[in-house]
């Protein structure tokens, strides 16, 4: 009984008749116009969720160099090609020793507009998520889709400031400050916000 319960907890869940996941969940795949979602971060750690043509247009993407943006939904039909992009306050994309992001664009796939399905091949590992989706129409009945998959690391398991240490509070406040600047400048097309590493800023303070 316990074994069955553990399996149920790690398996992705289907958001029936929905194109997006619950707040804090990551998109695992897209089956017949329904989002298949997986547990990711607490809902209080997911912010600035926006429908965009592509996630590199997400308001928080440039500020954090894309290292906090993840996909939480897809809208794909005869009229719209949109991606639901959110910012994570609890994770960031991993980099190698040379500072290169551990991300890769999967090969483009042609899918039908009617009852579309988007699957990751190979299947997403627990520490991977979809960071971006490219969609281009191929005539009226098909769409070319490519997924960007990234490996991420967890920074915190909650976003409750009252339960953080002083160092955690300082790092968290830097992230919040950047997000606040993005919100204040959301009416501009290119907010001029310096993209610095939060750890560097903490060391300087």
Residue 199 falls inside a structural domain: no
Q: Per the structure, how many domains does the chain have?
A: 1
Residue 108 falls inside a structural domain: yes
Residue 195 falls inside a structural domain: no
SS3 category, 19? coil
User: In the prediction, which pLDDT does 188 show?
Assistant: 55
Average model confidence (pLDDT) for the chain? Answer: 84
Residue 25 falls inside a structural domain: yes
* CA–CA gap between residue 70 and residue 143 (Å, rounded): 21
**pLDDT tens string 99-153:** 999 999 999 999 999 999 998 888 899 999 999 999 999 999 999 999 999 999 9
**pTM > 0.75:** yes
Number of CB atoms found within 10 A of residue 121's CB: 10
Tell me the residue range of the domain where 21 lies: 11-188
Containing H/E element for 174? helix 166-184
Give me the sheet containing 46-52, strands edge to edge.
46-52, 81-88, 69-76
Residue 203 falls inside a structural domain: no
Residue 176 falls inside a structural domain: yes
């Amino acid at each position: 009984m316990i074994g069955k319960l553990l399996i149920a907890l790690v398996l992705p869940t289907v958001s029936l008749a929905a194109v997006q996941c619950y707040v804090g969940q990551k998109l695992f795949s897209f089956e017949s116009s329904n989002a298949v979602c997986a547990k990711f971060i607490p809902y209080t750690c997911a912010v600035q969720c926006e429908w965009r043509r592509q996630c590199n247009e997400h308001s928080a993407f440039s500020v954090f160099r894309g290292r906090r943006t993840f996909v939480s939904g897809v809208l794909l039909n005869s009229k719209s090609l949109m991606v639901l992009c959110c910012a994570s306050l609890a994770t960031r994309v991993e980099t190698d020793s040379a500072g290169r992001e551990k991300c890769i664009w999967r090969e483009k796939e042609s899918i039908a507009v009617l009852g579309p399905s988007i699957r990751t091949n190979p299947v997403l590992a627990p520490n991977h998520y979809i960071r971006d989706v490219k969609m281009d129409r191929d005539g009226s009945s098909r769409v070319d889709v490519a997924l960007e998959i990234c490996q991420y690391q967890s920074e915190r398991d909650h976003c409750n400031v009252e339960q953080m240490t002083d160092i955690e509070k300082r790092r968290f406040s830097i992230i919040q400050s950047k997000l606040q600047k993005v919100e204040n400048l959301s009416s501009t097309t290119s907010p001029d916000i310096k993209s610095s590493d939060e750890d560097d800023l903490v060391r300087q303070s």
